[in-house]
C-alpha cells in the first residue's frame, strides 16, 4: 500500500513486508520513506494549512461527516485488514472499526464547538475599558505516530481531532500493521484538499526523528511504548507533545465483590487482543477472603477461550504480533516461575500463539509485575485489606487506568481517590474506554489527554484579543 503525500500516492523501491502473524504469509508491503519524502510530506502539510483555514467550521464538520459515511461503508473491509496484519480476532477488529467510525463522528460534532471566552480584563489593574476575548487557533501541523495494536482507532484519535481543529496532519503508522491505518487515512483525505492528510511509512526512528526535529511540525502526538515516548520527549524540546504510553493496570477484587462480574472483567481485561492492550489488566489484586472463589472461576472461564484462526468469528484469542513478542512473554513468565510463581492455568507458547495464562504466588519484585507484559498473562496477588490493595496498585511507574470490584461505597470512593491512574472504574475492568472520555495516564503512562474534545484542546493554542474602548 502506498504513502500519501500532497494528495498523491507515493511508492518507493525499498519496502517493508507486512506479515500475517497467524500464518506467516505476506499481506502486503509498504514503502520505506527517505528524507526527501518526509520533507515533502512536511512541506505539503504546511502548504495545506491555508486551505483548512479558509474553510468555515461548518464546512470542516460537514466534510468530517462525509468522511464518517465513507469510513462506515468500508468498515468491514478495514476490519479484515486489521485481522490480517495484527492477528486480532475478527469480532474485536469489527469492534475497533465501529468505535473508529463513531470517533470520526464525534470529531465532526466537535468541529462546531471550538469556543473561546470573554475575559474581564477590568478584573486586573489597568484593565478598565477593555473588551477582550480568546480565540482557539490551530497549532499548524500535527504528526501522528501510532502503534500496531489498535491501528485504526488510535490513529483516528489523532487525525480526526487535528482536522476538526483545522490542523493538517502527517500519519506514521507502525511498520508491523500499517495497512488499515493507511487505508483509513486515504478515505478521510479524499474529503479534504491535497496535503491536509499525509501518510508516511518506513523506519520508526528515521521518520520519527525528522518529524520530531522539524521546526515545521508543531506537535507530535505519539501512542506507543514508554521507551520511545522518553526518546521523543527528550528530543522534542519546546515542541508540543502528547504521549499515550504503556500501562500496568490493576484489577482489584475486594471482599464482598460480585465475583462473577469481577471474573468477567478479569477475562476481558487480561486476554483481549491476546493481552496486547495498553489498558489491559496486568495485575489482579484479590482480597484473601474471596481469592479461592475468584481464582477457581477465573481459571474455569479462561480455559473456555478458543484460540485459533483470527478470521474465524468464534475465535477469542489470536496470535501475538510476531514470534519475538510471544518469546518475550514466555521469557517473562519463565523468570517469574523461576522466582517462585505458581502456574495455575495455560503457560504454553506455540509459534506466535500464547495460551491465556494465570499465575499465583506472586511477589512484587518479579519483572512481570514491575514492567508491562504485552501478552495474555494474568498474575494474581493476594492482599488482606483495601489499604494493602491500594498500596500495591500504586507500586508501579505506570498509571494508565484501574478497575475495582466492590459493593462497599466507602471502599469504592477510597480506591477512586487514592489509586494513581488517569481513570479509575468501579465494577468495571481498566480495559474500557469510550471515545469521548478524557483518556491518558499519569507517571510513565504519558502526558496529555485524548478523547476528541480533550485532544482538540491539546491541538489548539489560545490567542487573546483585547480592544481598548476608552
Ligand atoms: P512502539 O514500538 O513504541 O512503536 C510505536 C510507533 O513509534 C511505531 O509507529 C514506531 O514505528 C514508532 N517509532 C519507533 N521508533 C521511533 C522513534 N525513535 N521516534 C518516533 N517514533 C518511533 O510501540 P508498539 O510496539 O507498536 O506498541 C505497543 C506499545 O504501545 C505498548 O507499550 C502499549 O502499551 C503502547 N500503547 C499505548 C496506548 C495508549 O493509549 N496509552 C495504546 C496502545 C498501545 P515502527 O513500527 O516503524 O518502529
pLDDT of the chain along its 470 residues, tens only? Answer: 999 999 999 999 999 999 999 999 999 999 999 999 999 999 999 999 999 999 999 999 999 999 999 999 999 999 999 999 999 999 999 999 999 999 999 999 999 999 999 999 999 999 999 999 999 999 999 999 999 999 999 999 999 999 999 999 999 999 999 999 999 999 999 999 999 999 999 999 999 999 999 999 999 999 999 999 999 999 999 999 999 999 999 999 999 999 999 999 999 999 999 999 999 999 999 999 999 999 999 999 999 999 999 999 999 999 999 999 999 999 999 999 999 999 999 999 999 999 999 999 999 999 999 999 999 999 999 999 999 999 999 999 999 999 999 999 999 999 999 999 999 999 999 999 999 999 999 999 999 999 999 999 999 999 999 999 98
SS3 for 321?
Answer: coil
pTM: 0.98
Q: Say whether 460 is catalytic.
A: no
CA distances from 322 to 13, 162, 248, 351 (A): 25, 32, 21, 8
For residue 212, report the distance from its CA to the centre of ligand 1, in Å.
Answer: 14
Q: Say whether 85 is catalytic.
A: no
Beta bridge partners of 122: none
Determine if ligand 1 sits within 6 Å of the CB of residue 148: yes
* C-alpha count within 13 angstroms, C-beta hemisphere, residue 340: 7
The catalytic position among 85, 110, 244, 450 is: 244
Domains and CATH numbers, the chain: 3-245+445-468 (3.40.605.10), 249-434 (3.40.309.10)
CA distances from 214 to 38, 42, 207, 235, 336 (A): 10, 8, 11, 11, 43
Q: Which of 296, 305, 242 is closest to 272 using CA atoms?
A: 305
Q: Which of 40, 44, 35 is closest to 14 using CA atoms?
A: 35
Residue 228 has a CB neighbour count (10 Å cut-off) of: 18
Ligand 1 pocket test, candidate residues 149, 224, 442, most atoms within 8 A of CB: 224
Amino acid at each position: 500500500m502506498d504513502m500519501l503525500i500532497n494528495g498523491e500516492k507515493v511508492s518507493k523501491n525499498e519496502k517493508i513486508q507486512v506479515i500475517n502473524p497467524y500464518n506467516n504469509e505476506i499481506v502486503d508491503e509498504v514503502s520505506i520513506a527517505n528524507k526527501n519524502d518526509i520533507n515533502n510530506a512536511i512541506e505539503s502539510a504546511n502548504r495545506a494549512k491555508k486551505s483548512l483555514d479558509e474553510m468555515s467550521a461548518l464546512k470542516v464538520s460537514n466534510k468530517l461527516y462525509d468522511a464518517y459515511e465513507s469510513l462506515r461503508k468500508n468498515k468491514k473491509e478495514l476490519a479484515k485488514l486489521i485481522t490480517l496484519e495484527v492477528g486480532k480476532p475478527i469480532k474485536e477488529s469489527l469492534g475497533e472499526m465501529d468505535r473508529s467510525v463513531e470517533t470520526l463522528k464525534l470529531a465532526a460534532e466537535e468541529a462546531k464547538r471550538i469556543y473561546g471566552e470573554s475575559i474581564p480584563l477590568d478584573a486586573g489593574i489597568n484593565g478598565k475599558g477593555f473588551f477582550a476575548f480568546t480565540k482557539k487557533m490551530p497549532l499548524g501541523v500535527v504528526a501522528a505516530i501510532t502503534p500496531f495494536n489498535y491501528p485504526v482507532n488510535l490513529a483516528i484519535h489523532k487525525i480526526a481531532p487535528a482536522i476538526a481543529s483545522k490542523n493538517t496532519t502527517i500519519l506514521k503508522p507502525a511498520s508491523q500493521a500499517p495497512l488499515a491505518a493507511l487505508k483509513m487515512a486515504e478515505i478521510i483525505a479524499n474529503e479534504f484538499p491535497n496535503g491536509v492528510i499525509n501518510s508516511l511509512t518506513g523506519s520508526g526512528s528515521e521518520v520519527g526523528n525528522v518529524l520530531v526535529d522539524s521546526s515545521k511540525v508543531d506537535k507530535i502526538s505519539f501512542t506507543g511504548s514508554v521507551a520511545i515516548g522518553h526518546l521523543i520527549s527528550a528530543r522534542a524540546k519546546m515542541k508540543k507533545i502528547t504521549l499515550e504510553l504503556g500501562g500496568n493496570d490493576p484489577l482489584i477484587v475486594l471482599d464482598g465483590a460480585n465475583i462473577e462480574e469481577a471474573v468477567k472483567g478479569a477475562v476481558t481485561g487480561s486476554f483481549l487482543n491476546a493481552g496486547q492492550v495498553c489498558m489491559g489488566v496486568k495485575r489482579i489484586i484479590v482480597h484473601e477472603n474471596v481469592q479461592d472463589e475468584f481464582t477457581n472461576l477465573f481459571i474455569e472461564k479462561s480455559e473456555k477461550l478458543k484460540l485459533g484462526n483470527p478470521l474465524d468469528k468464534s475465535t477469542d484469542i489470536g496470535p501475538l504480533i510476531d514470534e519475538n513478542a510471544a518469546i518475550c512473554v514466555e521469557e517473562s513468565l519463565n523468570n517469574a516461575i523461576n522466582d517462585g510463581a505458581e502456574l495455575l492455568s495455560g503457560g504454553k507458547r506455540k509459534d506466535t500463539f500464547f495460551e491465556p495464562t494465570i499465575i499465583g504466588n506472586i511477589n512484587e519484585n518479579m519483572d512481570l509485575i514491575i514492567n508491562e507484559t504485552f501478552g495474555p498473562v494474568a498474575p494474581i496477588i493476594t492482599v488482606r485489606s483495601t489499604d494493602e490493595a491500594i498500596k500495591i496498585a500504586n507500586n508501579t511507574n505506570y498509571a494508565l487506568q484501574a478497575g475495582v470490584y466492590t459493593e462497599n461505597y466507602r471502599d469504592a470512593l477510597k480506591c477512586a481517590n487514592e489509586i494513581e491512574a488517569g481513570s479509575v472504574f468501579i465494577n468495571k475492568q481498566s480495559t474500557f474506554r469510550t471515545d469521548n472520555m478524557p483518556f491518558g495516564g499519569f507517571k510513565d503512562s504519558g502526558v496529555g489527554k485524548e478523547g476528541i474534545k480533550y485532544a482538540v484542546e491539546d491541538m489548539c493554542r489560545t490567542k487573546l484579543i483585547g480592544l481598548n474602548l476608552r
